Amino acid sequence: MMRVLIRLWHHTTRLVPVVFLLGCGVIVPLAPAAPLDVDRAVIDEQNQRIATIQKVHPAIVAVCMQGGQGVGSGVLIDPEGYALTNFHVVQPTGPLMQAGLADGVLYDAVVCGIDKVGDVALIKLLPKEKGKPFPYVKLGDSDKVRAGDWSLAMGNPFSLAMDFTPTVTYGIVSGVNRYQPPEGKGLLEYTDCIQIETSINPGNSGGPLFNMDGELIGINGRGSFEKRGRVNSGVGYAISINQIKNFLGHLYGGIDSDHATLGAAIGTANEDAPLTQMVVKQILDESDAYRRGLREGDQLLEFAGRRVNSTNEYKNILGIFPKEWRLPLTIRRGTTTSEMLVRLMGHQAQVIERKEPVPGQPPPPPQPIPKGPRPSGEAAKMYEARKGFSNWYFNVIEQKKLLDKFRKHGDFTELVGTWTLEGQYEQTDRKGPMKIVLTEGPDGTKVAMKLNIETTLEPLRQTDLRLQQEPIGSGGLMMAFYHYRRFLTLGAKGFEGLFAYGGYAPFYPFPRDGSEPKSLAALRVDCDTMITKHGSVECRWYFARTDATLLGFETYVAKDADNLDDRDPCEVYFHDYKDVGGRKLPHTIDVRFGNKRYATLTVTNYNLAK
């Protein structure tokens, strides 16, 4: 009843201008066939708008429970049938659901990745005919959206359309870079989001927000509904597509992704001051930020390339990144300004632990399917539960995609004999010949490394952390080479702990000549990542998004060491890829640990035996 009233009310008020215009028209007698005297620009604009709506129309998704009961909206973003929606939309459906498109057809669908804090989920629709492409929309650039821009919201509010034909609403962007605090238990935090007056209502959740070119600029998810019950009150929020782009790798990879904290409390230096200064109020010893040199009282100037002037701005910047991303931070202490690269810490763990049971956290143990037809066998086959992942099935797919691309640079699976690398090493105070020998097999697994002095490591037998981290000051370069060889020769088989696709992440290769860069932020290269665990050692592997070149990797010999300084990884950066026997291999290898460069190795000779 209430809904009807409100809609009627809107109707009446909207009619007024129309009536007014018609009233003007009456002055000039109009023949019935004569078109209304409307400005050409108005007609053009309208036609353009209709064309845009028609273009994106087929890609709008009505997300449904098994059986077709509507729970929200979504939008297809690639021809394979991947669609974005809200996490809170797929929460009640569990991992298997159905999805209706504007063509009136209901498809089976399955959850891939989720982002609980950001309220985003990626689902995949199964085509009715194998291999048939889905319609999809193009991702836009939400950093270019400005308050006052026109926008289109589409979806299935109030589950009005029984045949899934999307509803479209039209309005302006009321604000950008908005912060909306978490709704309940630290989840569903909307950071850096787009505020719209474009009407969104319950059921619009998960649906797309478009610019007038039909590019996806956000996912509609929330409104300030407090006042007028659960209906639009002129203020809605869309998650910016640029935030979602940061998580897209995680989402495709079926990861239960997490947002991050800096490990430090940032606040206003003096709330009453005429202008704000953001300072570090507190910092955790175990945070990466602390090890990189951030201290209490430091003033935060820039974070991830954006200026920080208020608490909301700080939260907006922090909130759009997945945990464990490395981001540049510019601080001022006294009169000096400095830049550092900081690894973000996850924070969902703490939030989740406090409350139990975790409400509707996919993947829960497969929920009892309420009603209606059971999912087709195919959809059910595309779901695989695993801790830390919302759907492991999709992680395996993304691993394969990435490694297939990577293998084009060379197949190392046959090279299981001894590896010998010879060349020169260079450190700050010395340089000389370098030799690394990697052996693995029934006769023993061993790394021998001669830089200044000779060190050896039996990675499978050595349990002493100090020796595992040799050579001293490298953070575990011998261990790193052991894992590198395993990764190239054995792949998934070589890592019994974990071998997973890790989503997108930035990587910052330092200049190969060993010089200190002017701007750390400028070093950034966007990468696909893999995460491996073997024994107690964890590695993160960074592949250029463009061509899957392995740009480097980080080896955490003891990620949870009691001595906090031991928690830093040995960082290896590969440069100078050249062809060796039909395989591309790096000929300059930069090694860093903590805040310092350990050594630069120049390889002149690779000998990789079968």
Binding site for another protein (CB under 8 A): 5, 9-10, 13-14, 16-17, 20-21, 37, 39-42, 44-46, 48, 146-150, 171-175, 177-178, 195, 197, 212, 224, 227-228, 232-235, 272-276, 309-313
- Angle at 112 (CA atoms; ends 411, 497), nearest 5 degrees: 50
Q: Do residues 176 and 230 make contact, with C-beta atoms less than 8 angstroms apart?
A: no
Q: Quote the CA–CA distance of 292 and 567 in Å, as a whole number.
A: 12
Measured from the CB atom, is 227 or 610 closer to another protein?
227
566 catalytically annotated:
no
Least Å from the CB of residue 40 to another protein: 5
Tell me how many degrees the CA angle 22-25-26 measures, rounded to the nearest 5: 95
Among residues 205, 257, 287, 474, the one annotated as catalytic is 205
Dist CA 335 CA 479 (whole Å): 41
Residue 222 or 597 having the CB closest to another protein: 222
Closest CA to 324 of 340, 304, 344: 344
Which is nearer to another protein, 231 or 248 (by Cβ)? 231
At 429 the three-state DSSP class reads coil
Of 175 and 364, which CB lies nearer to another protein in the complex structure? 175
- Min. distance of Cβ 142 from another protein in angstroms? 15
d(CA 25, CA 373): 56
Nearer to another protein among residue 143 and residue 576 (C-beta): 143
Q: Which residues contact 140 (CB under 8 A, 6 or more apart)?
A: 210, 211, 213, 215, 216, 217, 241
Residue 171 or 494: the one with the smaller Cβ distance to another protein is 171
> Residue 357, preceding bond cis, omega within 30 degrees?
yes
Q: How far, in Å, CA of 337 to CA of 317, rounded?
A: 20
- In the complex, least distance from residue 299 CB atom to another protein, rounded to whole angstroms: 15
Q: How far is the CB of 89 from another protein (least distance, A)?
A: 23
Minimal distance, residue 1 CB to another protein, in Å = 11
Residue 88: active-site member: yes
CB 492 within 8 A of CB 498: no
Distance CA 193, CA 239 (A): 5
- For residue 303, the minimal CB distance to another protein (Å) is 16
Distances in Å between the Cα of 481 and the Cα atoms of 184, 315, 457 are 45, 38, 11
Number of residues assigned to the chain? 610
Q: Is 510 left (phi over 0), alpha (psi -120 to 50) or beta?
A: beta
* Mode of pairing for the β-strands spanning 106-115 and 256-257: parallel
Give 281 or 307: the residue with its C-beta nearer to another protein.
307
Secondary structure in 3-state letters for 134-146: CCCCCECCHHHCC
Residue among 274 and 357 whose Cβ is closer to another protein: 274
Distance of alpha carbon 601 from alpha carbon 593, whole angstroms: 14
Backbone angles phi, psi at 243, to 5 degrees: -65, -45
Indicate the residue type of 312: N
CB 362 within 8 A of CB 390: yes
Q: Could you tell me the smallest distance in angstroms from the CB atom of residue 344 to another protein?
A: 24
What is the C-alpha to C-alpha distance for residues 70 and 203, in angstroms, rounded to an integer? Answer: 8
Smallest distance from the beta carbon of 521 to another protein, in angstroms?
23
Q: Do 143 and 217 touch, CB atoms closer than 8 A? A: no
Residue number with CB closer to another protein (148 or 305): 148
Q: Is 119 in the active site? A: yes
For another protein, which is the closer residue by CB, 145 or 608? 145
Least distance (Å) between residue 538 CB and another protein = 40
State which H helix or E strand residue 603 sits in: strand 596-608
Q: With beta carbons less than 8 A apart as the criterion, state whether 329 and 303 touch.
A: yes
Q: Measured between alpha carbons, how far is 473 from 607 in angstroms, rounded to an integer?
A: 27
Q: Choosing from 57, 73, 88, 534, which is the catalytic residue?
A: 88
Question: Residue 42 Cβ, how far from another protein at the closest point, in Å?
Answer: 6
**CA 77 to CA 218: how far, in whole Å?**
12
In 3-state terms the chain splits into helix, strand, coil percentages (rounded to 5) of 20, 35, 40
- Number of helices (H), then strands (E), in the chain: 11, 32
Catalytic residue among 57, 108, 115, 119: 119
The residues assigned a catalytic role are 88, 119, 205
